[in-house]
Structure 1
Amino acid sequence: MRKDRNIFTGDFMTAPYWWDAAPPESYRDPLPGQADVVIVGSGYCGLSAAIELARNGTDVVVLDAAEIGSGASTRSGGMVSSGQKLVVGGAIKGVPPDLFERLIEDSIASFQHIQDLVGVEKLDADLTISGRFFGAHTPRAYDALRRMGNVLHDKTGVTVHEVPRGRQREVVGSDYYHGGIVIDEYGGLHPGKYHRALRDLAASSGAALRSHARVRRISPSGPGFAVDTSRGVIQASRVVVTTNGYTDEATPDLRRRVVPARSYQIATERLEPDLMAELIPRGRMISDTKRDLFYTRPSPDGTRILFGTRPGIFEVSDEAAAGVLHSRMCEVWPQLAGRRISHVWSGYVGMTFDKTAHMGERDGIVHAVGCNGNGVALMTYLGHQTALKLLGRQNRPCAFDRDAFPSHPLYRGKAWFLPVVGGWYRLRDRMDRLAAMV
């Protein structure tokens, strides 16, 4: 733990900033004995599926091991995008051109879907489409970003602006980066409020939400399944698993295919409007080209900086991570050196070996998992698509619905290799920065 506690506010919390406005909730009513569909996981994906199913007369139950809204959906940075992650994250490599075009098409559809959902349902989610700046951590990375921007424009149709270092302070009040690109079709929302709006909509549509019901086993039973939980057993005709980075031994086959990667974030104390306008002039989302990347944004009310990264190659407590994240935030913005932290938190991102999300069915159990750090719009959309598939109402198959879902022969659910990969990434980032200074 960092000994210098002067970086903490008097009311410092090891809990997501988002929970101040919309904390998780308990739903402790008894479990029903049976249901048409049981959804395991109460994130954006599970709730989105529940809403569509319940509205079409399906008897659906959503289960969570803890409180509803305590998982990664309310621990994210709340950034909203479409198909950019597939290109930026490297998922384009090795994907057949026809499949990649379909993946891009559905990714773009996910971006429109979340905007339509929030608008039509009048959800209190603080959704804004403000754009995103990708900062280059070296001059060479800037050249790569420019090329990537051209690919993004060609493949996804987004509007891309090149930002040379000489004009960088028009976008971000920092000299840390060597220029970058801005993508207009990018936004952010309040993850806590959005989740609360979805769970309220699910409940009002007729879905049953149940918290503190950890699923221990899913077994074939008659024409369906027996879902054995810490609060009892539910007989279900269909089971949908949307546990993402929290996939565990209850679904061992999926556990071998989803890698939980822990990501940490901090929130600053309230900052003056003039300082906020200097740090992020137009309120954009920000990330960079480092392998061990930084991602940051203003809070939806424009009063704080939220900053995320991994504090080291090994997992640490949230409080121990806070000092490291504060130091790294100040590398980007030295202006924040004397400012304190009000919140620190972490959550598990669901990564996959092919860097794309997957929906489908294995051994009769339906799944939609693997957001790869791009889950707000995409997982909402995949939940909706999963429901449409179960209802037989899809216009066409979703591109993320594929039989192939790779694992690794040495992976059984414990990500022993992440420290090795993280250390290598960090070393290469440091070498890149040093080379750029020569």
Structure 2
Amino acid sequence: MNEISRQSTDIWAADWSDTSYWLDGLAPPNLPETPLPREVDVVIVGSGYTGLNAAIEVARGGRSTLVLEAETPGWGCSTRNGGQISTSIKPSLDKLAARHGRDRAAAIRGEGRAALEWIEDRIKAENIDCDFRRAGRFHAAHTPAAYEELARDTEKLRRDEGIEVHMIPRAEQRGELGTDTYYGGALFAAHSALNPALYHHGLLKTALAAGAQVLGQTPVLAISRSGARHEVETSRGPVLARDVIVATNGYTTALTPWQQRRVIPIGSYVIATEPLAKDLIDRLFPTDRVVSDTCKVVYYYRASPDRTRILFGGRVSASETDTRISGPRLHADMCRIFPELSTANISHSWMGTVAYTFDELAHTGTHDGVHYAMGYCGSGVSMASYLGMRMGQKVLGLAEGRTAFDDLPFPTRPFYTGRPWFLPAAVAWYRWRDTRQRERAQAG
């Protein structure tokens, strides 16, 4: 282990790994050895949650379906996220109403709730064993002012949208989370959790059983129109397809420059601790919720499904960095919240890339005849799955494929080409502001 990975001599396990904790003990996908077909009905670029859920729909609809993945299926953020599932829509009803009108705003917010309900149904219907549970999410306030703002927001959520949420004051906080760092928070009872890699493996198995062909290590090099069809050039040769779906989200490249100009790739970093004592886990996570907080540069964390470790994630660097550097920084933030973990070693330190958008909304539609869904803004487990499913229905010509996201403007910015040059300054500013707010709150 080199010097950069030993910024602290005490925090790394002797056999620590830079791969996702979720992949431990999970065999790589066992894909059939099949040649590249010359022509199919549908080509799907990307084998994450979006692509596989689309593949399940179109294959079951009788379309010959080819999923192309540049790496091993599941290589991206579908097996690297924290496994937390919310209702996915970041802008409030009022903010959306100001942009799109009240009815459209309510419909967009409703899609987030529909996605959360739908993914539970999908997992049950396909018998996917992925530790799914309605754990609830505790959204912690990092300052007293943040708590008061949360209280106002939750009242609106209950009144205007019927969302099940209630406030937990600081005096009762330890019943939810074993720390005094926060100033209370909001409990979202319906939010959920799963093992993201097991969920992905279940989707892959389901897509293959439906008749989809999935090829790994097959980068797509170009997509062009060829009469009424698309020609998809791959590293193995060309494929003709009637329909093409792009499902690349945080890994969108110059293959699709129009989409690349509209998504902002952001690295999200996670660590896992070595196994901890049961009484410690029980004290820190007494209700087994997933947790996030009100910092602008958000942290998210939870106990592992078997309640032996803590998984702690967030953004710890203004620019993208090595997981050997992000690990100690996440460990320091984790110990600020839970001082008892100062002696807990890191067994895994990894990252994945999510995609934000300039309006903080997911987007789906068709551009130049190519279908797409992307930009889940860090809340993509249910929304990526749901919009992938809906996109598959659209390809089949089904009316139920339409969503409240259809036909929304997909904004970009002048001179933006997919490299977020502005991100380091923005992250540094928000991290500084979050720290200052916490310091002021602690000073009284």
- 1:115 equivalent in structure 2: 120
Q: How does 1:20-419 map to 2 (within 5 A)?
A: 20-25=24-29, 27=31, 29-82=34-87, 85-87=90-92, 94-395=99-400, 397-419=402-424
- Give distance in 2, aligned partners of 1:321 and 1:171: 27
> Residue 197 of structure 2 aligns to which amino acid in structure 1?
G
Find the aligned partners of 2:273 and 2:292 in 1 and give their Cα distance: 17
CA separation in 2, counterparts of 1:345 and 1:24? Answer: 18
Q: 1:241-262: per-residue Cα shift (whole Å, max 9, x none)?
A: 0100000010001000011000
Q: Per the alignment, in what secondary structure is the counterpart of residue 361 of structure 1?
A: strand
Say whether the 8 Å CA contact 1:88–1:148 is kept in structure 2: no
Deviation of 1:33 (Å): 1.1
Identical positions, percent: 41
C-alpha distance in 2 between matches for 1:5 and 1:29: 48
d(CA) in 1 for partners of 2:122, 2:427: 37
- For the residue of structure 2 that corresponds to 1:101, the secondary structure is helix
Residue 91 of structure 1 contacts residue 354 of structure 1 at CA under 8 Å; is this kept in 2? no
> C-alpha offsets along residues 59-103 of structure 1, whole Å, 9 cap, x if unaligned?
011111100011111111111122553439976663421111111
Contact 1:24 1:69 in 2 (8 A): no
Amino acid at match of 1:384: M
Deviates more, 1:154-163 or 1:97-106: 154-163
Amino acid corresponding to residue 281 of structure 1 in structure 2: P
Counterpart for residue 7 of structure 2: 3
Q: Which runs of 5+ in 1 are unaligned?
A: none
- What CA deviation, in whole Å up to 9, does each residue of 1:296-326 have, x standing for no partner? 0111111111000112212111111111111
What is the SS of the residue equivalent to 1:381? helix
Offset of residue 377 of structure 1: 0.7
Amino acid at match of 2:21: Y
Do the aligned residues in 1 keep the contact of 2:293 with 2:299 (CA within 8 Å)?
yes
Seen in structure 2, the aligned counterparts of structure 1 residues 395 and 371 have a Cα distance that, compared at 3 Å, is same
**How does the TM-score come out when normalised to structure 2?**
0.95
In structure 2, do the counterparts of structure 1 residues 89 and 124 end up closer, same or farther at CA, with 3 Å as the change threshold? farther
Q: 1:88 to 1:163 in 2, by over 3 A?
A: farther
What are the ranges of 5 or more consecutive residues in structure 2 without an aligned counterpart? none
Q: Distance in 2 between matches of 1:92 and 1:171?
A: 33
- Per the TM alignment, residue 121 of structure 1 is displaced from its structure 2 partner at its CA by 1.5
* Distance (Å, rounded) in 2 between the aligned partners of 1:263 and 1:23: 24
Question: Is the 1:91–1:355 Cα contact (8 Å) retained in structure 2?
Answer: no
Range 54-63 or range 5-14, more displaced: 5-14
SS in 2 for 1:6: coil
Q: List per-residue Cα deviations over 1:332-364 (Å, max 9, x = no partner).
A: 100100011110110111110110001100111
CA offsets per residue over residues 190-241 of structure 1, 9 Å max, x none?
Answer: 0000000000000010000011111111111121111111221111111000
Residue 62 to residue 347, structure 1, CA distance change in 2 (3 Å): same
Aligned residues: CA RMSD:
1.7
Distance 1:331 1:274 in 2: 20
Q: 1: distance between equivalents of 2:322 and 2:67?
A: 30
Q: Distance in 1 between matches of 2:330 and 2:314?
A: 7
Give the superposition deviation at 1:403: 4.7
Shift in Å at residue 4 of structure 1? 2.3
| Consecutive aligned runs of 4 or more in structure 1 exceeding 6 Å deviation | none
In structure 2, C-alpha distance between the alignment counterparts of 1:386 and 1:24, rounded to whole Å: 27
For the residue of structure 2 that corresponds to 1:94, the secondary structure is helix
Identify the range of structure 1 (197-206 vs 292-301) with the bigger mean alpha-carbon deviation: 292-301
Alpha carbons 1:21, 1:192 under 8 Å: kept? no
Partners of 1:83 and 1:145 in 2: CA distance = 17
Give the corresponding residue for 2:427. 422
1-side partners of 2:97 and 2:36: how far apart? 43
Cα gap change, 1:50 to 1:230, in 2 (>3 Å): same
**8 Å contact kept, 1:26–1:68:** no
What's the TM-score once normalised by structure 1's chain length? 0.97
Contact between 2:59 and 2:212, CA under 8 Å: does it hold in 1?
Answer: yes
| Amino acid aligned to 1:103 | I
Matched pairs, number: 438
**Deviation by residue 1:10-48 (Cα, 9 ceiling, x = unmatched):** 221000000114354364632111110100011111000
Moved more, 65-74 or 21-30: 21-30
Asked if 2 retains the 8 angstrom alpha-carbon contact of 1:385 and 1:394, the reply is no
